[in-house]
């Protein structure tokens, strides 16, 4: 029944028949490789994905037929193109060189390619291996996330490439770019407020520049008042009490005098909130304005407060309160009386 049997030829058998017809190789004659200086293909070819790969084969004038094959598929036989792939083209077909090019190479093009020649009714072959490198590419990365302080956070960064890329996480903090870990997963337990910010995932191999993506972590925490200072001002002057609070989300402010909540426009006062700062302004301070005020900062995670005093001249000087000044005055009075009795 011959090689393939009857008239119906399976695909693989069709390839065998085609090669034998091409090179007039009798059945049973072995294919030899490397038993002469030709054909000589180039060393392994390494290209990046998307580039063009050139496959060269050195021959001489004893060669009567030439072909390039990819595994069992004929790409070119002489000047005749057998491949239906438009990316495969012939470059050179001379008595000394037979070369083809594969344009826009992809990973599925990787593998062995064979230069096959016929001379003196003896087929000879030489093989070259095409290696396709793939730049690193981040395929999957965590989205921006908001968590409460003390929570545990896991970030994911998956990358592909050939060779396999190395994945690195860094925290881009205000203090500088801090190294975090060298892994696809970044795990942070009991996260703190100073660990908020942008985290950079970098995928790197030896093919191209790294692929870089960023994830932002927002850490919520309750307010704490970082700045609140007592203020002294004379009657009739303008007085300002200020209160600064850090919080995420941003704190909302309220002002109280004793149990009374204050509002803008009440008794010549104005409350102004800008970001982390709240101010209580008295445009024309009177005696009744003196006293203790409470600044309250609140967000959804909690609240805090601070007591701030608006005082008049002499009430507090360089940290000495009115009680201390009263004791000083009493001591001075006693000294003057003693001098009076001694004199008389």
pLDDT digits (tens, 9 = 90+) for 20-64: 434 433 322 233 334 445 566 667 899 999 999 999 998 888 888
Predicted model pTM: 0.69
User: Over the stretch 322-334, which tens digit does the pLDDT of each residue have?
Assistant: 443 333 333 323 4
What's the chain's average pLDDT?
Answer: 82
CATH architecture of 142-221: Sandwich (2.60)
Tell me the CATH class for 230-311: mainly beta
pLDDT for position 335:
33
| HEC assignment per residue over the chain | CCCCCCCCCCHHHHHHHHHHHHHCCCCCCCCEECCCCCCEECCCEEEECCCCEEEEEECCCCCCEEEEEECCEEEEECCEECCCCCCEEEEEECCCEEEEEECCCCHHHCEEEEEEEEECCEEEEEEEEEEEEEEEEEEEECCCEEEECCCCEEEEEEEEEECCCEEEEEEEECCEEEEEECCCEEEECCCCHHHCEEEEEEEECCCCCCEEEEEEEEEEEEEEEEEECCEECCCCCCEEEEEEEEEECCCEEEEEECCEECCCCHHHEEEEEECCEEEEEECCCCHHHCEEEEEEEEECCEEEEEEEEEECCCCCECCECHHHHHHHHHHHHHHHHHHHHHHC
User: Over the stretch 65-98, which tens digit does the pLDDT of each residue have?
Assistant: 999 999 889 999 999 999 999 999 999 999 999 9
Q: At residue 276, does pLDDT exceed 50?
A: yes
Tell me the CATH class for 45-134: mainly beta
pLDDT above 90 covers a percentage of the chain that reads 65
Q: Which residue intervals of the chain bear CATH 2.60.40.10? A: 45-134, 142-221, 230-311
């Amino acid at each position: 029944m011959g090689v393939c049997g009857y008239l119906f030829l399976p695909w693989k058998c069709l390839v065998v028949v085609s090669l034998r017809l091409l090179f007039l190789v009798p059945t049973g004659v072995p294919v030899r490789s490397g038993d002469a200086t030709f054909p000589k293909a180039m060393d392994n070819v390494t290209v990046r994905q998307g580039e063009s790969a050139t496959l060269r084969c050195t021959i001489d004038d004893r060669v009567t037929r030439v072909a390039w094959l990819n595994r069992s598929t004929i790409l070119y036989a002489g000047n005749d193109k057998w491949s239906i792939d438009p990316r495969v083209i012939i470059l050179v077909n001379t008595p000394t060189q037979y070369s083809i090019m594969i344009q826009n190479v992809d990973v599925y093009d990787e593998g062995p390619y064979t230069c096959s020649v016929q001379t003196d009714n003896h087929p000879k072959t030489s093989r070259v291996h095409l290696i396709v490198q793939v730049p690193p590419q981040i395929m999957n990365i965590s989205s921006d996330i908001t968590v409460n302080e003390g929570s545990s956070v896991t970030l994911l960064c998956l990358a592909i490439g050939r060779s396999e890329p190395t994945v690195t996480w860094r925290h881009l903090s205000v203090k500088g770019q801090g190294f975090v870990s060298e892994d696809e997963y970044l795990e942070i337990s009991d996260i703190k407020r100073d660990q908020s910010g942008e985290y950079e995932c970098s995928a790197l191999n030896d093919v191209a520049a790294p692929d870089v993506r960023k994830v932002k972590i927002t850490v919520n925490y309750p307010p704490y008042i970082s700045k609140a200072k007592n203020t002294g001002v004379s009657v009739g002057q303008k007085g300002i009490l200020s209160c600064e609070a850090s919080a995420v989300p941003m704190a909302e402010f309220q002002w109280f005098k004793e149990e009374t909540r204050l509002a803008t426009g009440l008794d010549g006062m104005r409350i102004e909130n800008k970001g982390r700062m709240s101010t209580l302004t008295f445009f024309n301070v009177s005696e009744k304005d003196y006293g203790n005020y409470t600044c309250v900062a609140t967000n959804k995670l909690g609240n805090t407060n601070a007591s701030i005093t608006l005082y008049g001249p002499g009430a507090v000087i360089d940290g000495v309160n009115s009680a201390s000044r009263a004791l000083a005055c009493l001591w001075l009075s006693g000294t003057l009386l003693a001098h009076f009795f001694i004199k008389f």
